Structure 1
Amino acid sequence: MIRTIGLALASVLLISALAPAAAAAPGERCFPETGECLAGRFRQYWEANGGLAVFGFPVGEQRGEQGAEGQFSAQWFERERFEAHPANNPPYDVLLGRLGDEALRRQGRDWQTFPKGRPQPGCQFFAPTGHTVCEPFLSYWRGHGLEFDGRRGTSAAESLALFGYPLAEPAVETNSSGFSVLTQWFERARFEYLPANPDPFKVLLGRLGAELFDGHAGPGPAQYHAVQRPGWPHPLEVPAGFTIDEAAAGLASPRFMALDPADGSLVYGALRTSEVVRLRDLNGDGRFDQAQTIAGGLAAVHSVAFVDGQLYAAAEDRLVRLSNFDANGAARQIDQIIALPSGARDLYGHRTRTVARGPDGKLYLSVGSSCDVCLEDTPLRAALLRMNVDGSGLELYATGLRNTVGFDWRPGTAELWGADMGRNNLGQDRVHDELNRLEAGHNYGWPFCYDDRVPNPEFNDAGKCTNTTSPVFNFPPHWAPLGLVFYNRFGFPAAYQGDALVAFHGTAADQVQTLGGYNVARVRFKHGQPVALEDLVRGWNAQGDVWGRPAGLLIMPDGSLLISDDLGGRFFRLRYVGG
């Protein structure tokens, strides 16, 4: 069993090799093992209360995080989560997460139903939870704690503050390294007994922070498993701990969607039928049972948004507001907010329009180009527009965007990010689709340049590219990103918070020899910047048999992810179930 320590060391070394080096700013302490840093009150707290031995290395940066109790600043460690509560007096301005309780709930285990213990000689019985702590765990529990009183030694109150009450009696369980070990769960920790280890390593704390933070605590790439449901021609693959189900089927080209805040129903744009449709889950089973047409005759309607309870829909040629619904849910009144340029000059013209409300209260509307590469006859194309909710004050927010269908604001910031489609007809390895940070007044290069200010051969004018803004992150060429959302809830592992999720519609057969995309991917962010792309859902392209094309993404109130498929006419729901 001494192998356990060796495996842990090997994991740290591999993580060190994968993690980018962290450069310490003044007052920071950085760890090359994980590429993360500590600063301020969290650093003081970590160093004063056991540091590496108790909490482990930091596995994430300090950031705003959405939890069951609301928004707070937090940082995750291998064995804990620090939460900042500045309104409290020290030392209670930093609180520890109840990770033992969270991990058990994530596993579907209700500790309140576990068999109870009883008082025993040489042990300590905790009446609030009805469990007993004996050796070999009792000495460890009593010997470690948070420093509250400035006195030598560790008081029972200090131990309780660090670990919390026991939630279970000791039992043999399989730990994250795959070994069967004697285990006891506490509110904030999991104790593991490894008798073959030398002192003082016979009792170790489980890596609950790492396990809960990313759902994949070990080194190496994420592991995937196949999910097959009735009616699917092929299985879909999702990361370990996730599952995916069908939420609706038999629909006509569902694109972008939104939840009605009044009743929780789902409203989406149906591109091919030019309709706005409402779906309802009548029996609460997670599957939509009823469809109602809200409005028709809206050319290539692609996206919808609720603004102050009012329903907006973006069609190819206009942005409208729908109201005065009849008993069947149809809108009796359709008011035009603004007219939009429409039409296409070639096969690569773009009909989609995406509308969303920004944190400034204004409407943002993306309008794609009319062609692959050309000079537009109106500044309202290949641009992101901004306006008041009544359509007044229309302005060009960002330009030079060939087709930025998906955009969203990064949680906890005012940063707007968008995924833009690169041009065609320069070969299967060019041009990259891209992720841009969209800033007011910036031009992103189209039609004069692509990638990092590379001149397009149609114009070959490097001077036109000099003052353009380059992409922050490149996607594979021709994958066609559509939906983009930042994950901002707590249904997925905590590491997903602040990461971008992107629906790739898939490559066109006339541009590549081997089809790519047709997936939903995760863009990992680190210190506010995108650093890696990895699959989240894949399998709609089964060795050339394409049976689905992801389009829209919507994060649901329970933290699950809703995915529209405009080829197969389905909605899918991705959930994290752990285990």
Structure 2
Amino acid sequence: MWGTMVRRILLLGALLLAALPAQPAAAQAGERCFLETGYCVRGRFLAYWEQNGGLPVFGFPISAERTEGGLTVQWFERERFELHPENAPPYDVLLGRLGDEALGRQGRDWRSFPPGQEQAGCTFFPETQHALCEPFRSYWRANGLELDGRPGVSEAESLALFGMPLSEPAPELNSSGLTVLTQWFERARFELLPCEGAQRCAPTVVLGRLGAEVYGESGRDAPTYYMPVHEPGWPAPLEVPVGFTIEEVAAGLQIPRFFARDPGDGSLVVAEAGAGRVSRLRDDDGDGRYERRVTVADGFEWIHSALVLDGAIIAADETRLVRLADFGPDGRARTVETLLPLPSGATDLYGHRTRTVALGPDGKLYLSVGSSCDACREESPLRATILRLNPDGSGLEVYATGLRNTVGFAFRPGTAELWGADMGRNNLGPDMPPDELNLIEQGGDYGWPACFGDRVPDPELGDAARCAETAPPALDLPAHWAPLGVMFYDGDAFPAAYRGDMLLAFHGTAPDQVAELDGYRVVRVRFENGRPAGFQDLVRGWIAGGEVWGRPCG
């Protein structure tokens, strides 16, 4: 039933759609399908796409035709086509005002931007109070919709394609993580890419991927479309949202759990629980894959997590928290210092060996210690807790209690808020109790073993008085899905709407608790006004033909 588990580290990213290995739908007469995204364009939208610039102007399709606001629309990398059959061609297809929409979604009102000035060699638009100058002016004038059937591009045709400028040119961070000269228009965003590599070249004007960005942000009101990604050696493809890809960057590891990137040299430090060792993975040829593994330290009981701090590695084993330092020429740690001994052992089948360590914004270490059982009253005050201590091992304190097994936790960027995902107990049925996403506060009691969910007393160990004083979860998660890795996304590679949301890895259900296996996925937990508002799949597909071939961790 469990299939063959694959010990791999995978990398998820939002890349240019031209690089994505999806399979296209079968093309029918009058339509064109694209291998790059798996979507087809047909009929009037296809004719419009081909007549008005095609791939360089609009990009690949990133959705099928769909209904939005009573209109038939289709999304492309750089635009949204809207069908208006009440209009005569060519005005029966209109473009979305994605520049204006994208700015609005960012909370930026273009009307408040500093105005431009009339100047020689520029075109000034009094309607928006902004000027169009070189190098963007030549690009704007060279491209446009085909409206009159005459050769060349008229100002009206350029205006129909891009609209008027909404800003003056200014450096901005684009969706690829580059700071480039940027100017916003009603329907587009112009970006000036610098010249690289060649001695004689000029900077290039390109269009920002507004369609992909705005479409990603509108996902909470519209269905998410997924595409398959398959690599050699995978038993089945994984599925990710259109606009994303996922690739394998390391393999051959023995139950890798949590890992950290060393900012000093870019290597990955991995806790291999199955081998009882901490390994360092290196990408020697710079191709993005970590081909070489070096043992940093071994002989551990059940090593689960590691972080890099001041050039040393802090690693959490089942029985102790250690500091690894003084690395030799072979990469091994010549110093293995126990910072803190930890309680261990299990009193039943469900005792937890995982120990997760993280660095807080206060400079202290936070350490989760799972329970020794499924449901019991612990003898050690350090079990079923999150602990806090100084990086040298001193100053130990219990930060929060009643957390049966909070394997994954993280601080929300820009705040001191600690969020963690806790696993509920077993043997109360396939749908109870829920796993939990908690806002973990100092001194907080989160209920286990007395209660679960929103202060529901446990049928065996319930304590109504204690439950009344516990903190309820911020979000219920599906029962038995076993949440593990938790992180907040604050990068620039994904669509802007993902920034500030949580990524959560579900390890998946166990066959002794449910009739049908489920979980085994990575999800995006949407945060609104600082609180979780639901989740949606980000990566799925680790169950194929009833067999589990991978279990997400951290």
Could you say whether these structures have the same fold, taking a TM-score greater than 0.5 normalized by the shorter chain as the test?
yes
Corresponding position of 2:77? none
**CA 1:477 to 1:314, structure 2 compared with 1: closer, same or farther past 3 Å?**
same
CA offsets per residue over residues 84-112 of structure 1, 9 Å max, x none?
9xxxxx965899xxxxxxxxxxxxxxxxx
Could you say if the C-alpha distance between residues 145 and 375 of structure 1 is closer, same or farther in structure 2, counting changes exceeding 3 Å? same
**In structure 1, what is the Cα distance between the partners aligned to 2:304 and 2:277?**
9
Q: Which residue of 2 aligns with 1:313?
A: 315
Relative distance call for 1:126 and 1:434 in structure 2 (3 A) is: same
Instruction: Tell whether the 8 Å contact from 2:165 to 2:185 is kept in structure 1 after alignment.
Output: no
Counterpart amino acid of residue 431 in structure 2? D
Q: Which residue number corresponds to residue 68 of structure 2?
A: 11
**8 Å CA contact 2:276, 2:300 repeated in 1:** yes
Question: Are 2:372 and 2:378, in contact at CA under 8 Å, matched by a contact in 1?
Answer: yes
Q: How does 1:210-289 map to 2 (within 5 A)?
A: 211-213=212-214, 215=216, 217=218, 220-289=222-291
Within-5 A mapping of 1:539-554: 539-552=541-554
Secondary structure, aligned partner of 1:375: coil
What is the rounded CA distance, in whole Å, between the counterparts of 2:391 and 2:162 in structure 1? Answer: 61
Partner in structure 1 of residue 60 of structure 2 = none
TM-score (norm 2): 0.69
Counterpart Cα distance in 1 of 2:395 and 2:170: 56
The yes-or-no answer on 1:322 pairing with 2:324 is yes
> Letter of the aligned partner of 1:549 in structure 2?
R
1:135 match: 155
Aligned residue in 2 for 1:476: 478
Please state if 1:387 is matched with 2:444: no
In the alignment, the residues of structure 2 paired with residue 9 and residue 547 of structure 1 have an alpha-carbon distance, to the nearest angstrom, of 34
Task: Output the CA distance in 2 between the equivalents of 1:402 and 1:93.
Answer: 54
Q: Give the Å deviation of 1:337.
A: 0.5
* Structure 1 position 131, deviation (Å): 3.2
The answer (yes or no) to whether the contact 1:365–1:384 under 8 Å persists in 2 is yes
Secondary structure at the aligned position of 2:344 is classed as coil
Count of residues in Structure 1 that have an aligned counterpart in Structure 2: 415
Mapped to 1, the partners of 2:507 and 2:163 lie a distance apart of: 56
- Asked if the contact 1:383/1:399 (under 8 Å) is kept, the reply is yes
Contact 1:126–1:132 under 8 Å retained in 2: no
SS in 1 for 2:438: strand
Q: Render the CA deviation track for 1:450-483: whole Å, top value 9, x for unaligned.
A: 1111111112321120100000101100000110
Distance 1:264 1:516, change over 3 A: same
Question: What SS class does the counterpart of residue 364 from structure 1 fall into?
Answer: strand
Q: Distance in 1 between matches of 2:186 and 2:170?
A: 9
> 1:348 matched to which residue of 2?
350
Q: Shift of residue 191 of structure 1?
A: 4.3
Q: Give 1:213 deviation, angstroms.
A: 4.3
Q: Deviations over 1:392-431 (max 9, x none)?
A: 1111111000000000111222111000000000000111
Distance in 2, Cα, partners of 1:8 & 1:247: 35
Report the alpha carbon displacement of residue 144 of structure 1 after superposing the two structures with TM: 5.4
Contact 1:210 1:217 in 2 (8 A): no
| Aligned-partner residue type, residue 184 of structure 2 | R
Instruction: Name the % identity.
Output: 52
- Give 1:82's aligned amino acid: R
| 371 and 94 in structure 1: CA distance in 2 versus 1, 3 angstrom threshold | farther
Cα gap change, 1:217/1:449 in structure 2, threshold over 3 Å: closer, same or farther? closer
**Corresponding residue SS for 2:553:** strand
The one-letter code sitting in structure 1 at the alignment partner of 2:185 is A
Distance 1:367 1:142 in 2: 56
Tell me, yes or no, if structure 1 residue 77 matches structure 2 residue 77.
no
Residues 140, 158 of structure 2: 8 Å contact kept: no
1:208 deviation in Å?
6.7
Residue type matched to 1:77 in 2? G
Name the SS of the counterpart of 1:380 in structure 2.
coil
Change (3 A) 1:399 1:189: same
Is the contact between residue 216 and residue 222 of structure 1 (CA under 8 Å) also seen in structure 2? no
- Once the two structures are superposed, residues 131-169 of structure 1 have per-residue CA deviations (whole angstroms, 9 ceiling, x without a partner) of 3533314667999566xxxxxxxxxxxxx63899xxxxx
Q: Is the 8 A contact 1:301 1:313 kept in 2?
A: yes
CA RMSD in angstroms comes to 3.4
Equivalent residue number for residue 420 of structure 1? 422
Quick check: 1:81–1:209 contact (8 Å CA) kept in 2?
no
Aligned to 2:459: 457
Q: Give how far 1:55 is off.
A: 6.5
8 Å CA contact retained: 2:419, 2:439: yes
Alpha-carbon offset, residue 541 of structure 1: 1.2
Give the distance between the partners of 2:170 and 2:321, measured in 1 at CA: 56
Query: Which amino acid is 1:212 matched to?
Result: E
